[in-house]
Amino acid sequence: MACSDQEKADIIAQYKQGSSAQNLSAKYGVSERTIYRWAQICGEMNPGEKQTFTAKEYDRLLRRVNKLENIISILKAVNCTVHAPLKKKLCELELLYDQYDVHTLCEALDVSCGTFYNRILCNKRGNAWFEKRREEYCILIREVFDEYRQVLGAEKIRTILVQRGHQVSTEYVARLMKEMGVASIRSIAKQDYIKLNAPEKKRNILRQRFQADRPNQIWVSDVTCFKLGERYLYTCVILDLFSRKIVAYNVSKKNSTQLITSTFKIAWEQHSPDDGLIFHSDRGAQYTAYRFRQLLHERSVEQSFSNSGKPHDNAVAESFFATLKEEDLYRKDYTSEAAFKRGLTAYIEFYNTQRPHRTLKNQTPCQVEELFVSNSQ
């Protein structure tokens, strides 16, 4: 129930004259807590008397005004009154969680903070609404983070989200960023630079010894470019050195770290190599990017690089691309990206399962792997 200023003044006057808050609450339909708050704000002030405040009192009043403004905003936002059933009030307050502090939310609808916390903790464990909201904000945060070149922290990302109509707190954004492993590159730029340029980390482990004792022991990778009409398509492949089998491939319009990363993840998910895998490539910016090298580090993969200006150090991958172009790409007239991808898939299937390899004594990569599995049993 909304009270006019005159009604509030009458209630406060009766309270000061000795009427109990309980009786006044029943009479006017206002909660006892609200009556106590009105009386506290008014105090014993005489409207005609000039008042002076200390700096501490002034700050306290400012905080109180800000809190009351938030309470007004909450009351306007919820679809119930302070006299609604507790379950309804809790449902409404849930929708505003992380937009206002819990004490202000509870005071607005006269709800116990302990009751509200119990509701929130229970719902976080099993309520799909929280998980859906979390997923939505993870996407929004990632979009803003990438849009602003990965330089913004939680506070600035929160500001941009609010400007775009999303009410969220800095603490919530920071928590989701931590869960996603997202951090402003400004804070780690120097460390990344040192890691990316540490010469001892860019070792050539293979040294043109292109042999392996078992599948998924050594993977080699490279990227090639093919012009399709007026645009270019970039193809990344990962090849198992033991059987010369293409274990993963991907196509993109950009020669980016994302292309390398996505291809590696495909290979990893499909083949689940044991610890000790060696990943060899040239020193292209995509392979030396901290993001990709960190991915390998997380999976205990040792990275090997060709020496600068030595294409023969990655001869196996280079040879595959030469074969691919001579036997397929230069012989076909692909008119669309979709047709190109279908043709690439068909050729790699042919390459792995039907095409004999001189290095493999005229066996196919799949035959070599099948023979290894058979001898290991």
DSSP 339-370: HHHHHHHHHHHHHHHT--BTTTTSB-HHHHHH
| Residue reference for tokens 């700096």 | 55
How does pLDDT run across 164-220, given as a tens digit for each residue?
888 888 888 888 888 777 777 655 555 655 555 554 467 888 888 888 889 999 999
Question: What pLDDT is attached to residue 178?
Answer: 81
CATH code of the domain made up of 202-376: 3.30.420.10
Three-class secondary structure of residue 246 per DSSP:
strand
Question: H helices of the chain, where?
Answer: 5-16, 21-28, 32-42, 55-77, 86-95, 102-109, 113-126, 128-147, 154-163, 170-180, 185-196, 257-271, 285-288, 290-298, 315-324, 337-353, 365-376
Question: What pLDDT is attached to residue 19?
Answer: 82
Of the candidate ranges 27-36, 261-270, 339-348, 364-373, the one whose mean pLDDT is the lowest: 27-36
Radius of gyration of the chain (CA): 33
CB 155 within 8 A of CB 171: no
Of the candidate ranges 35-39, 69-73, 213-217, 292-296, the one whose mean pLDDT is the lowest: 35-39
Distance CA(26)–CA(21), nearest Å, equals: 9
Tokens of 84: 């609604």
Question: What pLDDT is attached to residue 365?
Answer: 93
How does pLDDT run across 330-377, given as a tens digit for each residue?
888 888 889 999 999 999 999 999 999 988 989 999 999 999 888 876
Query: Model-level pTM greater than 0.95?
Result: no
Residue 221 binned pLDDT confidence (cut-offs 50, 70, 90):
very high
Q: Closest by alpha carbon to 253, among 232, 238, 225?
A: 232
